[in-house]
Every structure is written in structure tokens, then in C-alpha cells.
Structure 1
Amino acid sequence: MPTPKSRSTAPVRSPWYADGLRFECTQCGACCSGEPGYVFIDESETAAMAKELELSVAEFERKFTRPVGNQTSLIEYPDGDCIFLDPKSRHCLVYQARPIQCRTWPFWDSTLETPADWQDTCDVCPGAGSGQLYTLDQIEIRRREKSV
């Protein structure tokens, strides 16, 4: 008779940010501008933004989205700024209906991988590293909403 395999008793390592991180959105628009990238959206996000702008979903998709592989992304201005970043006020034109990817900033896999990645985030985002203290649980909820 085979013997049962023993279970690993190795301790589970807490992430480096286990004591929490501070963040308070200043609505400066820094996270919405700069290098070109992608803001991937799904059907429910598309519908919410279309409603916010009082457009049909079809019109919203035609004006503001582009296919990227089998996904859909918001389009950008030629300088890389999000199409919904108002060039004058630097505020989001669909803030109340912004996509999950935007709502979960700065708690993304890519910004939380190492303390250096978080510091890079703090260097470009005036709200990262200051303001409200988010607990590990609060950070993990946001981080898991969408992999970025």
C-alpha cells in the first residue's frame, strides 16, 4: 500500500506590502497619459461608459475603441494620452464609469511586484505613497479584479 504524501509545511510568504500601502487619487491625469498602452475593456464597461456619454454602445465602440487581438481597448491621442483625459482640465471625462483597469490603479500586479516597482509608481503618481492607508486585504481585492 502506498504511503500518503506529506504536505508541505513551508510557511506562506506575505507580500512585501503586507503592512499596507498609501494611495489617494489626486485626479492629476498622470496615470492616463504618457507612453502608449492599452486600457482593455469588456462589454459591461463599454455599456457603462456609453451610458455616461449618452451614446449608443455601437456609437461608443465606433468612436472610442479599437480591437487588440481578441480584446478591445480604448483609443488614445497620438501622444499616448487616454481619449477620455480632457486635455485642458486633465480630468477623466468618464470618471464615474471608468473601466476596472483604471479603478484599480495603482494596485496592479506590475506595480506591486517589488518595492522598486512601487517606488517607480510613486515617482510618477503624486497620489501613490500618500493619503489613505490601504490594508493588504483591500489591496489584494483590487489587484485581483483585473490582471495588469
Structure 2
Amino acid sequence: MNSFKTNKNKDIQEDIQPWYKEGLRFECQRCGRCCRGEPGVVWVNKREIGKISAFLGITQNAFAKNYLRSINDRFSLLEYGNGDCIMYDNGCKIYDVRPCQCRSFPFWTSNLENRSEWEKLRKTCPGIGKGKLHTIKDIEDNVIIYEGRFG
């Protein structure tokens, strides 16, 4: 009896697939549209602070002083008054070591809520629909990264 229930539940779970079950195409075009213009936060954790400061060739204290702000015991990259990320200067200065939040874009829960949200993003992000086909596993791994489970 238990195995029947388990198999039945497994079948039900397999039937409930997200709208992007066939995968989604995305390749960053490095246009900077997600880095500029709209105020917000780009969270960085201690591991990322270490990687970014090493990449920039400065101490973690100098990096914190010049590039971070503290918000409720967390750190975010600074931004200019116009909303541009402090790390954006005709391209991301730290692209190879950018924070999880940036690496996981556009595979954020808000963008994956439904096909309509994904299509809305296509209007502002030229990488949507281009490049590599990301599998459902790739996408869900990025959601986990975005949600900070590995931070």
C-alpha cells in the first residue's frame, strides 16, 4: 500500500512541472541594463567580498569602505544617485567574480513566476531568448543560488 502511495505521489509531482520545463534560452549580452538606472540592492556575502576585493587588488576593509553599504547587518554594493551600480563603468568591472545575485540573473523567482513575467523581462533584457538553452535543472540551481542557500 505504501509503495502505491509513493508511486502515485511521485507521478503527481512529475505532472506538476513549471511553465519553463522545456528550458529557457539566455545569454548575457553585457549591456548593463540590469546594472543601471533603477535603484535597488545587490547583496554580497563575506565570501564574495573576499573574492571581489582580491580581484580588485585591494584589502577587504578598503573594498568595504569604498564600495559597500550596510543594510540591516547585510552588505550591498553602493550605487550612484542615478541608480547605476558602482561596479558598472561601460561594463561590469567585476564580471568574473560578480555576486550570486548578478550571476543568477535572470533566473530569479520573480522572473520565473509565469511566462508573462519572463516575456515582460524580454523587453528590457536583450539576452532573453538568446544563446544557451538552460535546462530546468540549470534554472532551478540558479534560483537556489539567488535565494542565497549557498551564500
The alignment's TM-score, normalised by the length of structure 2, stands at: 0.87
- Look up the match of 2:29: 26
Name the SS of the counterpart of 1:31 in structure 2: coil
Q: Which has the higher helix share?
A: 2
Q: Does 1:121 align with 2:121?
A: yes
- Look up the match of 2:100: 100
Please give the root-mean-square deviation of Cα atoms over the aligned residues, in Å.
1.7
- Look up the match of 1:70: 73
Q: Does 1:55 align with 2:47?
A: no
**Residue deviations 1:50-91, cap 9 Å, x none?**
1111110000000000011121100001111110110xxx21
Structure 2 gaps of 5+ residues are: none
**Residue deviations 1:3-24, cap 9 Å, x none?**
x9x7784812111100000001
Distance in 2 (CA, whole Å) between partners of 1:91 and 1:30 is 10
Runs of 4 or more off by more than 3 Å in structure 1?
6-10
Measured after TM superposition, the shift of residue 131 of structure 1 is: 1.5
Q: Equivalent pairs: percent with the same residue? A: 38
1:71 partner amino acid = R
- Look up the match of 1:11: 12
Distance in 1 (CA, whole Å) between partners of 2:73 and 2:129 is 35
Name the SS of the counterpart of 2:130 in structure 1: coil
Measured after TM superposition, the shift of residue 146 of structure 1 is: 2.1
2:84 partner amino acid = D
Name the SS of the counterpart of 1:131 in structure 2: strand
2:102 partner amino acid = C
Distance in 2 (CA, whole Å) between partners of 1:146 and 1:29 is 19
Aligned equivalent of 2:46, options 32, 43, 47 = 43
The alignment's TM-score, normalised by the length of structure 1, stands at: 0.89
Measured after TM superposition, the shift of residue 144 of structure 1 is: 0.8
1:134 partner amino acid = H
